[in-house]
Structure formats: structure tokens, C-alpha cells
Amino acid sequence: MAGARLSLELSVRLPLARFALEVDVRLEGASVAVMGRSGSGKTSLLEVLAGLRRGARGRVVVGGRVLLDSSARVDLAPEARRMGYVPQDALLFPHLTAEQNVRYGARLGRASRVDEAVALLELGPMLHRYPATLSGGEKQRVALARALATDPALLLLDEPLAALDVTLKERVLPYLLRVRDEARVPMLYVTHQLGEARVLAKEALLLEDGRVRAAGPASEVLGASARGLLASEAEGEENILEGVLERPSEGATRLRVTEGLSLWVPDAPELPSGTRAAYAVPAEDILLSMGPLSGVSARNVLAGNVVGVEGAGAGEAAATVEVEGVRWVVRLTEASVRELKVAPGVRVHLAVKTAACRRLR
Amino acid sequence: MTDDTTGLVLFTVKVAVVATLLILPPGVAAAYALARWRGPGRGFVDTVLALPLVLPPTAVGLVLLELLGRNGPLGRMLDAVGVEVVFTPGAVVLASAVMAFPLLVRSARSGFEEVDPRLVAVARTLGDSRARAFFRVTLPLAWRGVAVGALLAFSRALGEFGATVLVAGNIPGRTQTLSLAIFQHTQLGQDARALQLAGIAALLAFVAVYATEGLTRWRGRRVRA
């Protein structure tokens, strides 16, 4: 399940327009989310890793390989770094077909890499089309395959979903999960969406004005400090849950997320039991209750503990609730927080309507 | 067509083709450098390269003549190795090339400017050296601008007169092109012959310009498709 592990040693300094990017961090893990507000240096950091930013000083070691060491005058050219770079707007070569795009750097990888990437991202039907005829989501899939086909040491994903609308986003996200789980390439994933970061990454790096605010396990980093920092951009936050589908009886489908956590979702008879799936539940569609809930129409009632509450601006607040090891974000008003005395450590119940669970495909 | 006319047309076309091929490598290099260079001196180089477009062609011809004549700095060097340029077919090619150069550079440069430099960055991460990325991404994407520039340069070379007449003279059978012949026959009062040649020149120009237009439309279709 887990892909190859990443070991990343970063100690770089790069002057930017408003501040200097100063990152000194070691990261381990299969997938790391790089978060921060727009303009906090996330993209610059990826470009430093890819070798696309001249003028970076310091040391970059990926998987034991030194890419940059300015004290030893080592600064590998981008073509020698083996970084699978996927920019925000895909940047496919417009004069080449999807297939030619995927094959572009394939001489760097094993021969079978192209076929694997095409299969993984289901590009078969669009191989002979030109980028101009592809949808935004299809372009992103081609760009992912193009990077994977080079057999990179690390995938650098720069907000691969940011340019897509909600529907397309949901179509591409499952492919990213497949890449993470099946392609066995570690990834560094830039995003400013907490939901995306939570579902994709096990580790996280939080940047603020070019400096590391926090780094470590995603569950810690993406808690309170992240929300405060990203508040203005956390609109429309969603909980994204992955698991295996089960159909215990006719007309009922449930998503098994962990041993102790299952979620009733809209019936999907077309999907056989055992299918892996991901669902999104908007943070504002979850009801939070202090006492045990009974006699409510929502089929999913989950007991958990509050681990954090933060103001989200405009009289709104977000509570993080841990249920069977899974963290949920629930939107409520600040008035409710006061009246119900929602605070860390408090036992609460969450009610989630089946209809609020939307499958990502 | 008489043998005379055929020879004249062939020579004119040959001069234009050779002149265009000659300026293609330096023209493309200059266009690319101008499109990418953001530092100081850009405006100056730009202006110098555009001069042949706006100077009287005879002034350009005069400069070439002074440079390449027996007593000119370049002419003396060439003379030392036994090469004579002035009043030879080579001079016709050179005059046409110099006059056509800015047209090639201008069009090719706008072609290069349309290429998103980030595409090149992506190509680099996919294993391309700078040079390889140029030939696999930049040039194919700027290709229309380069091709249109080459055709414009070719068309310009076909009709070059002012610079040519100064540096190459107007020697029938040696340095005379269509436009020079038209001038000569008009001077001699042979208007019918001059008109006939003008008609041929118009036909050549039509073909070249039509090809340019066609190229513009064809590339436009494919990239948008």
C-alpha cells in the first residue's frame, strides 16, 4: 500500500521578492503536503527542488542523492535531478499528442514505465488527442503520467487540483490516491486545501512567509496552527474519507474507513463489495451534538473527542473531532461553540446524513 | 519565356533562396536571444537590427560598399585571401541578405516570445538539456514565426533593388536580378519588356505571399484543433 519512502534533507535559502525562502527541514514519508497561504513560498520551494530556480544556496538531498550543495559547488541541472514535476496548469506540450507527452522523458525510465503510467491514469482513450482537446482533469492526468514515466525519485505536485472546478477536482483526486498507493514514488504535494492535504499526505510542512512554521506528521501539523494560517482559504472545507465499500444488504452501501469506523453512503449497487472508494463530506454538513443522538434522521452517528477548536472568521468556527483515529472537521458558528462549550477533550457526537457523502470519482 | 527571361528569373530566385538560407541560422539565433534576453542593451540591439528596414536601401548599400570595397576594412581582408565580393553575384546575395535579415528576426522573435518559458522548464525536468529542449519544444512551437519570417525574408530578397545596385551593380548576366532589369529596361525606354518582367515579378511575389498566408492559417488550425 505505502509507496517508496521519501527521505528529504532541505536546507536552502533563496531571496524572493517580499522575503527570503529559508527552509531547514528533514522529512521522511511517502507523501508530504506542503501548505501555506498563496505567496508563502510553496511553489518556489518546489522549483528549488526541481532545479528551476537559480540562486538558491544551501543543501538539498533527496533519497541520499545530493542535488544541491552550494558549499561544495554542486548544483545539478534540472535534467539530472530526476524530479517528476507536475505544475499547477499541467503545461502539456501543445504540439504533441497525449501519448507523445507521456513519452517525452521516458528514456529516463524503464521501458515499462510508460505503459504502467498510462494504465494507472487510464489514458488509453485519449492517447492520440492533442492537449487543446483535453479537459482540465484529463490534462492533469496526462501531466502526472508524463512525470511518472521518467521514473522520478520524487514527484513534485504543485497544486495539481487548484486549476480545476469542484467536479473535475473530484475526478482527479482518486487518481492522485492511486499514484500515491500504486506508483511507489514518494510525493511532495503543494496545496492550500486542508482537505486535500489530509487525505493525500501523512506528513506535512507548513510555510509562512518563506519559513517553516511546522513540520511533521500531518495530523499534528494540519491542526490548529494550519487552520489559523489558512483560515481565509479554508472555505468549503471537506472531509475526505477513503475506504472499502460493503453492501451488507440490498439497498444499503457502507464505506469501511477503519476497523471501528464505517459510514453509510448513498446506495451504489453498481459497485461490488471490496471496491476502494473515496468520499467527500462538507464540513458544514455535519451536525455536532453534546449528548448521544437518537431519533435523528441521519444514519451515521459517530462518537468522538474534540481535539481542537479554532475561529474561522466571520462568526464561524471549525472543530476538529477525532473518531476512531480519523479526524473530522466540523463547521459551526462561534455562538454554538460558546453555548455548547465545545472545547478540546469534550466528548461529542457527529451526525452525518447519508446524502451528504459524495463519492469522488 | 525567352532564355534571357528564364535565366533572369532563375538567378533572382536563386539569390533569394541562398540569401534566406544564409540568414536563417544567425537570424533564428538572434531572434531567440532577443526574445529571451531581459537585460540591458536589448532596446539598442533591437533598434540596430531594425535599421535596414527603415534606412534608405541605398544607404545600406553604400555602407556595404564602403566595408567590402577594395579599400574597405573587410574588403582588404578578403582581398588578401583572393576573394572579391563587390560587383559579383555574391554581392547580390549579401545585399539581399542584409536587407531581409530584420524581417526574419522580427517574425521569428515574436514566434519565440509566444513560447511559454515554463514549457521549457518542464522539458528540462523531463531530462532535456538546454539545447535539446530548444529543438524539441521551443523551435517546434515557434516554428510558424520562423517560417513566416523566412518567407517574408525571401519575398524581400526577391525584390531587393537599392542596396543591390550599389554594391553589386547592374550587370546583365552577372549581377542583374528582375528588379534591376526592370529598372534598366525602363531607363532604355523598353517599357513593354519592363512591364513583362514586372508581371513575372508580381507572380513570384504572389506565390511567396500566398504561401506565407497559407502557412499562417494552417498552423493556426492545427494548434487550436
Taking the complete model, does pTM exceed 0.90, yes or no?
Answer: no
| pLDDT in the model for residue A312 | 66
Write out chain A residues lying below 8 Å of B119, CB-based: 91, 93
| pLDDT in the model for residue A1 | 39
- Tell me the count of A-B CB pairs closer than 8 A: 61
CB proximity under 8 Å: B 122-161 to A: 122-129, 136-137, 140-141
Question: What digits encode the pLDDT tens for the residues A117-169?
Answer: 898 888 999 999 999 999 888 999 999 999 999 989 999 999 888 777 767 77
CA angle B41, B44, B46 (to 5 degrees): 105
Count Cβ atoms within 10 A of the Cβ of residue A16 and give its class: 0-12 exposed, 13-18 middle, 19 or more buried.
middle
CB proximity under 8 Å: A 155-174 to B: none
Of A50, A95, A107, the CB nearest to B125: A50
- Nearest C-alpha in B relative to A84: B125
Local structure of B21: helix, strand or coil:
helix
Question: What digits encode the pLDDT tens for the residues A204-258?
Answer: 888 888 888 888 887 777 765 565 566 544 456 778 788 888 888 888 889 998 8
**pLDDT under 50: residue ranges of chain A:** 1-2, 232-234
**So where are chain B's domains?**
3-220
The rounded distance, in Å, linking the Cα atoms of A123 and A107 is 19
pLDDT at B22 over 90: yes
pLDDT at B220 over 60: no
A37-47 b/e (C-beta count within 10 Å ≥ 16 → b): beebbbbbbbb
| pLDDT in the model for residue A224 | 56
Confidence check on the interface: ipTM exceeds 0.85, yes or no: no
B95-127 b/e (C-beta count within 10 Å ≥ 16 → b): bbbbbbbbbbbbbbbbbbeebeeebbbbbbbbb
| pLDDT in the model for residue A313 | 67
**So where are chain A's domains?**
6-233, 239-360
CATH code assigned to A6-233: 3.40.50.300
Q: Report CA-CA distances (Å) from B138 to A129, A191, B37, B130.
A: 21, 30, 15, 10
| pLDDT in the model for residue A271 | 83
Question: What digits encode the pLDDT tens for the residues B53-84?
Answer: 889 999 999 999 999 988 888 888 888 888 88
Neighbours of A86 (CB within 10 A): 29
- Nearest C-alpha in B relative to A52: B121
Yes or no: say if A41 and A20 are a contact pair by the CB < 8 Å rule: no
The residue-averaged pLDDT of B90-100 equals: 94
CATH code assigned to A239-360: 2.40.50.100
Q: Which of A177, A183, A115, A186 is nearest to A155 (CA)?
A: A186
How many CA atoms lie less than 13 Å away from A165 in the CB half-sphere?
2
Q: Which of A203, A199, A101, A94 is nearest to A150 (CA)?
A: A101
CATH 1.10.3720.10 assigned to B3-220: yes
| pLDDT in the model for residue A61 | 93
Residues B124, A105: C-beta atoms closer than 8 Å: no
The rounded distance, in Å, linking the Cα atoms of A303 and A310 is 20
pLDDT at B187 over 90: yes
| pLDDT in the model for residue A2 | 44
The rounded distance, in Å, linking the Cα atoms of A314 and A334 is 9
Q: Identify the H or E element spanning A241.
A: strand A238-249
| pLDDT in the model for residue B42 | 82
Write out chain A residues lying below 8 Å of B125, CB-based: 50-52, 78-79, 81, 83-85, 105, 147
Confidence of residue B225 (pLDDT cuts 50, 70, 90): very low
pLDDT at B91 over 90: yes
